[in-house]
Amino acid sequence: MVKKLLLFSTFSILLFSCNKVIDAVDEVRMNNKQTITYDDFETVRNDYDIKLYYDNDKELMTGHYVVVYHGKPSEEFQTKRGFLNGVYASYNADGQLTKGYNYKDGKQDGLQREFYGSGELLSEASFKKGKMVGDKVVYDQLGEVRAKHKIENGVEYKRYFKNGKMAIAEFKKNWEGKDLDMMVYYDAFENIQFAFGKSNDPNEKNIFYVFDANMQLSDTVDITIDPQKASYYMGLIQRTAMAVME
């Protein structure tokens, strides 16, 4: 019995030591950049829809790689045993950084940033274990906030801004048993002007609902029955949206 315990203890120590050595080797490889091309690797998604990186020998990749295309950096990433771990970057044809992401075990984890082709910050968001935490903030090229997106309890909310004020909000809402895709429009003081709701029911595909400033139903429009009224509201939506995007 004592011999078995000693053997088990010795085996555990050896296994632990071996794993420590492998981890140390992985760390060294991940901190030394290698230049490769798109012909040197491939990616395959596993059963959990996580991307795995393989070299030409069908071995899972571990290292820090810079992918060169037409003589210029196109992507840069760190992998550990096939999974993205650490930095992932993407560049445009001019060599300008367009994406700067962080990964852990193949999932987005940490700050994620995207950039305009001219270098200004386009958007930023934080992730934890592949899920977005808080708002994704979208900027214009002058650094002003143009939109904020978030997912809360499985529902996606989108808010669009003009001159620092919320101008349009998009979200899903259950209204009188109907699941509606809502678009709410605000004035310059962030007061609700009006809102539209479109049902996801296939039987109501030609119908939309109009709500007033108090979010009370003010009109129901069937495109097939009253195309003139529908055209009026569609024009109102387009004019308001264009004013926000100016």
Question: What percentage of the chain reaches a pLDDT higher than 90?
Answer: 79
Could you read off the pLDDT of 199-222 as tens digits, one per residue? 989 999 999 999 999 999 999 999
Residue 12 lies in a domain: no
Task: Say if residue 57's pLDDT is above 90.
Answer: yes
Residue 46: count other Cβ atoms within 10 Å of its Cβ.
Answer: 11
Task: Say if residue 24's pLDDT is above 50.
Answer: no
Q: Mark whether 206 and 108 lie in a shared domain.
A: no
Residue 40 neighbours by CB under 8 Å, 6+ apart? 55, 56
Task: Say if residue 245's pLDDT is above 80.
Answer: no
Q: Which domain holds residue 60?
A: 25-141
Among candidate residues 123, 141, 159, the one where a domain is terminated: 141
Residue 221 lies in a domain: yes
Distance CA 98, CA 91 (A): 5
What is the structure's pLDDT at 79?
97
Residue 13 lies in a domain: no
Q: Mark whether 115 and 158 lie in a shared domain.
A: no
What is the structure's pLDDT at 193?
94
Q: Mark whether 129 and 217 lie in a shared domain.
A: no
Distances, alpha carbon 24 to alpha carbons 20, 21, 52, 88, in Å: 6, 5, 21, 21
For the segment 121-138, the average pLDDT, to the nearest whole number, is: 97
Q: Mark whether 152 and 104 lie in a shared domain.
A: no
Q: Mark whether 163 and 105 lie in a shared domain.
A: no
Q: Which tokens in the block code for residue 100?
A: 């700067």
Count up the domains in the chain and report the number: 2
CATH number of the domain at 63, please.
Answer: 2.40.128
Residue 234 lies in a domain: yes
Residue 217 lies in a domain: yes
